[in-house]
Chains A and B, each alone.
Chain A
Amino acid sequence: MSWGGWSEFWAMGGYGFYVWGSYAVTLACLAIEILLLRRRTREAKA
């Protein structure tokens, strides 16, 4: 591991906002799509 510790990891060398902003929104998009698909499947089967 190339990081000095967790705080260094979250800081991303000063680019934390950009890196985690990208990953957080991507994760949120995929999670929302999965939830919507599960709901649609449930409703279609009902």
Chain B
Amino acid sequence: MSTAIKWFWFASPQTFFPLAGTIARACWIGAALLAAAGLYVGFFAAPTDAQQGEAYRIIFIHVPAAWMSMFLYVVMAFWAAIGLAFNTRLSSMMASAVAPTGALFTFIALWTGALWGRPTWGAYWVWDARLTSELILLFLYLGFMALQAAIDDPRRADRAGAVLAIVGVVNVPIIYYSVQWWNTLHQGASVSLTRAPSMASTMLTGMLLMALAFWLYGIAASLARVRCIILERE
């Protein structure tokens, strides 16, 4: 069997089901191991921050969660668009499976941001461009889930959700560039591909380990959920 045929073969929910289970199991284990390593580096290897003291240690979950919230939205919109364009059942199921985990990471980013903002800015919440656009992201996830839940016919729910997801994707670059486009309280990007990182290398290592752990967690949770959706629908 050629590779091209194999890909179409896995586009069928029934054949994807066992593969998703295998990948999810590997990702759960990988996420747990990377999180343990990331937390060890974050709490025991990374030094105290000169300006923020120990409060900065929130970064090890705040930044990875914020990255995942944006990344998962793009993944959700991508699968929704593929499902809408090619009418492939599994693509739409993937979009529905990613949404709750994306919403969860958005909530975590907002929550940890509030608890970080209080000691550093003096306020849990400010109506700042970065914070507001991230809150809109949470509402987009919740709107997508509510819209799908409100429509009984799953195929119609997929199409309606897809339109919302695709329109909402415009918010992702707004979140990302909000710290450059507007004068905000939120600091700029901690990590950039074009310049040297602005933090100690152990801090960066801890943050990247946690980001990988969250990434694998996101894959595992989405695949576990798509398996439920396949069982429920087919």
Complex Cα–Cα for A34 and B224 (A): 9
In the complex, the answer to whether B111 meets A41 with C-beta atoms within 8 Å is no
In the assembly, what is the distance between CA of A36 and CA of B68, in Å? 20
CB distance A25 to B119 under 8 Å?
A: no
Most chain A C-beta atoms within 10 Å of own C-beta, residue among B108, B227, B228: B228
**Range, interface on chain A:** 20 to 34
Residues on A with C-beta less than 8 A from B65 are 26
Main secondary structure of the interface of B (DSSP, over half): helix
A40 touches B228 (CB 8 A): yes
Which residues 56-90 in B have Cβ within 8 Å of A in the complex?
A: 57-58, 61-62, 65
Which residues does chain B contribute within 8 Å of A23, judged by CB atoms? 61
A-facing residues in B98-123 (Cβ within 8 Å): 100-101, 104, 107-108, 111-112, 115-116, 118-119
Residues in B neighbouring A1, C-beta threshold 8 A: 44
Q: Is B173 engaged at the interface, CB distance under 8 Å to the other chain?
A: no
Q: Does residue A4 face the partner (Cβ distance < 8 Å to B)?
A: no
Contacts of A40 in B (CB 8 A): 225, 228
- Chain A 32-44, CB-CB to B under 8 Å as 1, else 0, gives 0110010011001
By a beta-carbon cutoff of 8 Å, the part of chain B in contact with chain A is: 43-44, 47-48, 53-55, 57-58, 61-62, 65, 100-101, 104, 107-108, 111-112, 115-116, 118-119, 217, 221, 224-225, 227-228, 231-232
